[in-house]
Each structure stands twice: as structure tokens, then as C-alpha cells.
């Protein structure tokens, strides 16, 4: 059971990491597009909830891994 918890946490962490990489790429593309200041701010603000969600997912995954290791 604890091994499944570790693998589930690993999957969540990888999904969160993928989300973080996606948000970095999205903001980098917006910066390279030489958008005006207001449009760049709008692009970053649109990505911010996804970035925070991915970070939360990654943290929950890491907590599951640590809990599975501690209890197993």
C-alpha cells in the first residue's frame, strides 16, 4: 500500500513539474514576442494560476512520497 502511495506521489510530482515547465515556456514565449507592457502583464497573469496549481500539485506529490517512505 505504501509503495502505491510513493508511486502516486511520484506521478503527481512529475505532473506538477511538467506544469511548471509549461508555464516557464509560455512566459518565455510571451517575453520573446516583444509584446507591449500591458499585454505582457496580461500573459503572465493568465499563466500565474496554472503555475501556482502546478506548484501545489508538485508539493502534494512530494508530501505523498515522504509519507509513503516514512510509513513504509
Give pLDDT tens digits for 18-33: 999 999 999 999 999 9
Of 16, 45, 43, 17, the closest CA to residue 32 belongs to 43
Q: Is the pLDDT of residue 72 over 90?
A: no
| Of 44, 50, 57, the residue nearest 22 (C-alpha) | 50
Question: pLDDT tens for residues 12-66?
Answer: 999 999 999 999 999 999 999 999 999 999 999 999 999 999 999 999 999 999 9
pTM of the model: 0.86
Amino acid at each position: 500500500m505504501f509503495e502505491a502511495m510513493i508511486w502516486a506521489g511520484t506521478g503527481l510530482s512529475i505532473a506538477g513539474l511538467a506544469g511548471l515547465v509549461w508555464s516557464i515556456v509560455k512566459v518565455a514565449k510571451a517575453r520573446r514576442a516583444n509584446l507591449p507592457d500591458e499585454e505582457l502583464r496580461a500573459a503572465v497573469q493568465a499563466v500565474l494560476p496554472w503555475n501556482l496549481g502546478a506548484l501545489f500539485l508538485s508539493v502534494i506529490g512530494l508530501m505523498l512520497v515522504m509519507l509513503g517512505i516514512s510509513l513504509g
